[in-house]
Amino acid sequence: MNPKIKWLRNQLDALKLEGMLVTNPVNVRYLTGLDAEGFLILAPKATMFVTDSRYIEAVNSTLTIDDEIIAYDRRELTKYDYEGFFMTCENIGFEENYVTYADYHKYLQKYQVSLVETEGLIEKQRILKEDDEIDLIRKACLITTKSFDYVINNIEYGMTEKDIAFMIEKEFVKNGADGLAFDSIVASGKNSSMPHAVPTDRIIEPGDIIQFDIGAKYKGYCSDFSRVVFVEELNPSLKDAYLFVKEQQKLLAENLKDGANIKEVIKERDLDFEKEKYDIYHAFGHGVGLEIHEDPVLRDNVDTILKEKTVIAIEPGVYDPGRFGIRIEDTFLVGKNGSEPLTNYSKDFKIIHLK
């Protein structure tokens, strides 16, 4: 049997649930490896993936006997098949954040079953990465840094933020990525003060800083990476802010390790920001995996113990609205003695020259 399905069935047994509907597409992919529109039914004696005619051939070519998953074309799955599943169960787990209000009432009224919230059961399991998942994230990270290095050394006079963002996506694909893990942030000059700036038609100019926040996706798994580069010259007024961010990331990486309490680690960094009179605009990081933002979130209100083999992005940043923003971010693997950077790229001052 598929080991992830086996794990989930054991969890359902412990919760005294007789079946489950898995409707979050990311969780479906995590459990089955299938990247197709549809949902999963864990019935007492069968596991069914329900899709439609556009995907059924590809799904059947992916599944193996060992998966013990039966694919159904939703047009051929009659209401009696559904009723047969529900009528043999009294308590069915469901993903409360991924079932519509209309479907919820249909299950209650038509099939008269007890629907039980599973409270992020699968998402919590996804926090701890298996070795094969870590390997895929490493590859996504390697693609990201390799592509970034090419792009920053090939920016030409007259190029805009949009031009550079497009070049990043092309390099990702050229280097083997599925595509973008998220829309790239390329923010130059004063645009860099917006943490989630959208690339514009602003032309890169000498004296600018450029804030990059980019990530490739490889076989479904994401990377997250941020750097600031200086165009033609290093702006001396930004050196202190840059070095502060760099030091904060180093301290976070050293202390976010197996057994660390996220709340306590982040509180220490909050004090440093307060001392330097920097406002905190966003969390210091987040989990990374099949989604670019997963649990855990690195905030001072998250009372969670980190565990080895968690993958996190650590991203401290300082912002002066209307002037500049500096964020340094890497994807890290949590270990026993600290966090190992998977996006292994220099954090020294980087001056680029336009071609």
Distance CA 321, CA 276 (A): 16
* pLDDT score at 74: 83
Q: Give the residue-averaged pLDDT of 9-38.
A: 95
Give the whole-number percent of the chain exceeding pLDDT 90. Answer: 85
- pLDDT single digits (tens) 72-81: 888 877 666 6
This model's pTM is above 0.85: yes
Q: Which pLDDT does position 153 carry in this prediction? A: 98
SS (H, E, C) the chain: CCHHHHHHHHHHHHCCCCEEEECCHHHHHHHHCCCCCCEEEECCCCEEEEECCCCHHHHHHHCCHHHCEEEEECCCCCHHHHHHHHHCCCEEEECCCCCCHHHHHHHHHHHCCEEEECCCHHHHHHCECCHHHHHHHHHHHHHHHHHHHHHHCCCCCCCEHHHHHHHHHHHHHHCCCCEECCCCEEEEHHHHHCCCCCCCCCECCCCCEEEEEECEEECCEECCEEEEEEECCCCHHHHHHHHHHHHHHHHHHHHCCCCCEHHHHHHHHHHHHHHCCCCCCCCCEEECCCCCCEEEECCCCCCCECCCCEEEEECCEEEECCCEEEECEEEEEECCCCEEECCCCCCCCCEECCC
pLDDT tens digits along 77-129: 766 666 677 777 888 999 999 988 888 887 777 777 788 999 999 999 999 99
C-beta of residue 194 within 8 angstroms of C-beta of residue 166 = no
State how far the Cα of 111 lies from the Cα of 105, in Å rounded to an integer.
10
pLDDT at 107: 77
**Domains in the chain, ordered, with CATH?**
3-126 (3.40.350.10), 131-352 (3.90.230.10)
- Over residues 179-230, the pLDDT tens digits come to 999 999 999 999 999 999 999 999 999 999 999 999 999 999 999 999 999 9
Looking at residues 56-85, what average pLDDT do you find?
A: 82
